[in-house]
Structures are given as C-alpha cells and as structure tokens.
Amino acid sequence: MQGVSKGKVVEELILTMRNEEKSPDFLLCLGDDRSDEDMFESIANLALPTTSQVFACTIGYKPSRAKYYLDDTGHVIRLLEGLAAASAENLSTK
C-alpha cells in the first residue's frame, strides 16, 4: 500500500491511544531491515510521557536509528522469553 510505513502505523497507534486518554507504558519495536528505520525514527520523535519505557532494537549490527541492537533472531527469541517470564513472575506476585 503506497504512503503507508511502519512509522506511520506506530504514529497512528499512539494517536489512537491518546484519543482514548491512554499512553503506552512499554513500547518495543524490533526490525531487521531498511523498512523498519521509519518506525525507529517515529518512536524516537514521539512525545511520550517520561514514564513510558521505549525500546527500539535492530537485529544485526548495522547503522540504524534504533538505540539497541540484537545480534540475531536467537537473541530476539531469548529477549521475548525473558520478557514473558518476567511478566508471568510479576503477575504471580500480585
């Protein structure tokens, strides 16, 4: 679809949340190619509350607007497993 980028999608999602008087407290964007750079730039430019935790990660070391790097898809899987475990642990202590 012309005129649509991952950056525009992220901007629209955040705008929709703001219209509902919500904001993300955790935002994780992962990408491994040039088409993800618009997304990384968009989240870097979003005016999010300081309580929002924002992580832009590119997979594979290369010049990128992402602040963080993961070496490969194996590291992505380990990251997601770690987040899931931490979330489950957090829920069980409530």
Domain range for 54: 6-92
In order along its 94 residues, the chain shows pLDDT tens digits of 567 889 999 999 999 998 999 988 889 999 999 889 999 999 888 888 887 899 999 999 889 999 999 999 999 999 999 999 998 887 777 6
Domain count, the chain: 1
| DSSP label of 89 | H
Rounded to an integer, what distance in angstroms lies between the CA atom of residue 14 and that of residue 43?
A: 9
At 86, which CATH number?
3.40.50.1000
Q: Could you write out the DSSP letters of every residue in 3-64?
A: T--HHHHHHHHHHHHHHTT---SEEEEEE-SGGGHHHHHHHHH----TT-EEEEEEESSSS-
Residue 1 lies in a domain: no
User: What's the pTM?
Assistant: 0.80
Taking every pair of Cα atoms in the chain, the longest distance, rounded to a whole number of angstroms, is: 46
